[in-house]
Amino acid sequence: MRIKHVLHLLGVFFLIASTAQLLFAQPSPKREVRGVWIATIGNIDWPTVATGTNVEKQKQELIQILDQHKKSSMNTILFQIRPAADAFYGRGREGWSRYLTGKQGKPPEPFYDPLDFIIAECHKRGMELHAWINPYRASTTLNPNHF
């Protein structure tokens, strides 16, 4: 009699446990976001001072950064496109960033759009790109010509 009672209780326990697992289980996400920031303010991550204003060196450096993150299983890049009320893209009202060209408002020579470039390079690697802006920082220096 006792064994029947124990087996019955075990059966009820497993029934409750499996039902609870079905009711409270969280669905698996369709995919996992594994992202990393690339900061441009003060040339923290890109472009480094070593590349200067050389467009081809900037591009190669960015490609190396993306390749490194891809090898680390990252699938999302958060790229800072407006570090200080300036821009790392060729459209819009904001002037070009001094962190890209060395001089505020000066476009890269030869001309290229870093945002277009990084979008294309991320997509080649099957990575997403999210543009990151800093909406509150107007400047890190007192420059009378800056917005």
Domains of the chain: 35-133 (3.30.750)
pLDDT cut 70: percent of the chain above it: 86
Q: List Cβ neighbours of 130 (8 Å cut-off, separation of 6 or more).
A: 35, 76, 77, 78, 79
Average pLDDT (18-40) is: 81
Which amino acid is it at 11?
G
Q: Does the predicted TM-score (pTM) go above 0.85?
A: no
Average pLDDT (40-63) is: 93
Is residue 116's pLDDT more than 60?
yes
CA dist 124 to 45, 75, 77, 129, Å? 21, 12, 13, 11
How far is Cα of residue 81 from the mean position of the Cα atoms in its chain?
A: 11
* Band of pLDDT at residue 142, cut at 50, 70 and 90: low
Kind plus residue range of the DSSP H or E element containing 124: helix 114-124
pLDDT at 72: 97
pLDDT at 144: 61
